[in-house]
Structure 1
Amino acid sequence: MSRQHAALAPLEAFDDEAAARIETLFTDIDDTLSDEGRITSRAFDAMWRAHDAGVRVVAVTGRPAGWCDHLARMWPVAAVVGENGALCYAMIDGAIQRLYAERPADAAERLAAIERDVLAEVRGCKVAADQPFRLYDLAIDFCEEVPRIDDAGVRRIVEVFERHGATAKVSSIHVNGWFGQFDKLSMCRRAMQELFDVALDARCVYIGDSPNDEPMFAAFEHSVGVANVRDLADYFQTLPRYITRGRSGGGFAELVDHLLSARR
């Protein structure tokens, strides 16, 4: 069921009885946990508090496989879903478990053609600095390490991906594109079932900020946007059920506070 922007409810509308039942917290990273590219002490402390309270924390991101391996080892998370659902890494019993989506054999060659066309047709963007650590997708930076390009430029990047038959999703910093039938939601479902025997149901909540979170917002009974979700509202068809007062990491900490206070 699609939820319209005007219908976003304040986080306080997430009633205590439902919040107290949450066992798994799925969270985006960039501009949901991070503020201007860094994880604040408040957000990281909130992640640890959720972990220590017995809430399973799962990071769900467009960031590359190389980052995800590190995060799965070093952060207080049960798993990391990366490259917009291409893979999942989880540290279980002292060893990394890895799941991967399927992709066409010629995906790398086709993405190289897209890269050439994007850079030729859209001024001001560049291939993302984290591209060398990616396995499945192509990330085009439109504001992380370049001056922000306008909305028309971002839409043009998406159009180039789609012209080549790729899936393209806009995050708060990149346009990510890939070949293959996967997204954040499909890998979360698979990983939770295969690794933890957990269904995505009313005991789960998702928090995010950008259009690549839409499949999660649409599927989760309990979905939350940090306040900056409004910044990209024009790119959404489906928005989260609730919205925090705080932006980015402050909004994430606000959700954790709400979940843990409901348990008392």
Structure 2
Amino acid sequence: MRPIAEMPRDVAAAVKVVFCDIDDTITTDGRLTGAAYQALEDLSAAGIAVAPITGRPAGWCDMIARFWPVRGVVGENGAFYYAYDWDAHRMIRQLHPVVEEHVTNPHRFERIRQRVENEVPGAAISADQAFRLADLAIDFCEDVPALSDDEVERIAAIFEEEGAIAKISSIHVNGWFGEYDKLTTSRQFATDILGVNIDDANAQIVFVGDSPNDAPMFGFFENSCGVANVRAFEGRLDATPSWIADRVGGAGFHQIAYQILSLR
């Protein structure tokens, strides 16, 4: 991971798309700061297409797609993307193809819920679960006292033992049925909404993240970036970012955004 301050001018000048995680990437201690939001505004005003790629729920993503200065949002770790068409005044909502067969079974997570409750005391269903379409989010530090790394790994293992996919973020373990992740649906979003093939345009896209569920994005994008708190997950990431800020959370995102903007 190279310091973001060393990103060359030609690399920064080529950037046309910024994908970014939300929690602990553009937020700081659970809050979206004015500086981080201004960075989103300024990237967009510079003609760079911005899209959050998040584990947060459908209900949040509808609001984000409507109200933030972004081209759209990929939510629930790739279960869908939302994008608001300002010309037609309509929301475009696209589910990943495997999602529909699972959301018709409202009891699919019941055994997992029971096992987490019994086997990992202190864990809790995320407060935003009511706004989710496709996954189950287990809170291990957002609104509950922080659990140990071993307890977090045990939650992920319960999902996997029950045949689900599990991904660890900085605040939740998210689990779902069906094969998809952040990269899968970011690829579709880029094709459908941005008219961009991410394989051909890899060098023109930056992803900014902070935690293990961002690893597919870190591994794919050659100019992926991490905010400084990604270092807390060293040794637990399947792939690491190419560039890293020296500030945490939203301040790190601000630093990365203005490194790109200042060299254009």
Tell me the distance in 1 between the aligned counterparts of 2:107 and 2:180.
19
Equivalent positions of 1:158-197 (< 5 A) are 158-197=156-195
Q: What is aligned with 2:137?
A: 139
> Greater CA deviation, 211-220 or 85-94?
85-94
| Cα deviation digits, residues 156-185 of structure 1 (max 9, x gap) | 101100100111000000000000111000
Aligned 8 A contact 1:185 1:216 in 2: yes
| Cα deviation digits, residues 215-255 of structure 1 (max 9, x gap) | 00000011000000011223212110110011010010111
CA-based RMSD: 1.1
Tell me the distance in 1 between the aligned counterparts of 2:238 and 2:136.
23
Q: TM-score, normalized by length of structure 2?
A: 0.95
Tell me the distance in 1 between the aligned counterparts of 2:14 and 2:3.
19
Asked if 1:69 is matched to 2:67, the reply is no
Structure 2 stretches lacking a partner, 5+ long:
none
Tell me the distance in 2 between the aligned counterparts of 1:96 and 1:189.
19
Gap change, CA 1:107 and 1:163, over 3 Å in 2: farther
Tell me the distance in 2 between the aligned counterparts of 1:131 and 1:257.
34
Aligned 8 A contact 1:107 1:179 in 2: no
Aligned mate of 1:14, from 7, 24, 47:
7
Tell me the distance in 2 between the aligned counterparts of 1:19 and 1:136.
36
Deviation at 1:15, TM superposition (A): 1.0
Asked if 1:78 is matched to 2:71, the reply is yes
Tell me the distance in 1 between the aligned counterparts of 2:207 and 2:239.
14
Asked if 1:207 is matched to 2:218, the reply is no
Q: What is aligned with 2:26?
A: 33
SS in 1 for 2:166: strand
Runs of 4+ in 1 over 6 A off after TM superposition: none
Deviation at 1:46, TM superposition (A): 0.8
Deviation at 1:111, TM superposition (A): 1.4
Structure 2 letter corresponding to 1:243:
I
| Cα deviation digits, residues 106-153 of structure 1 (max 9, x gap) | 654231211111111101010000000000000000000000011111
Equivalent positions of 1:93-172 (< 5 A) are 93=87, 94-101=89-96, 102-103=98-99, 104-105=101-102, 108-172=106-170
Tell me the distance in 1 between the aligned counterparts of 2:223 and 2:197.
14
Aligned 8 A contact 1:32 1:248 in 2: yes
Aligned 8 A contact 1:208 1:225 in 2: yes
Deviation at 1:97, TM superposition (A): 0.6
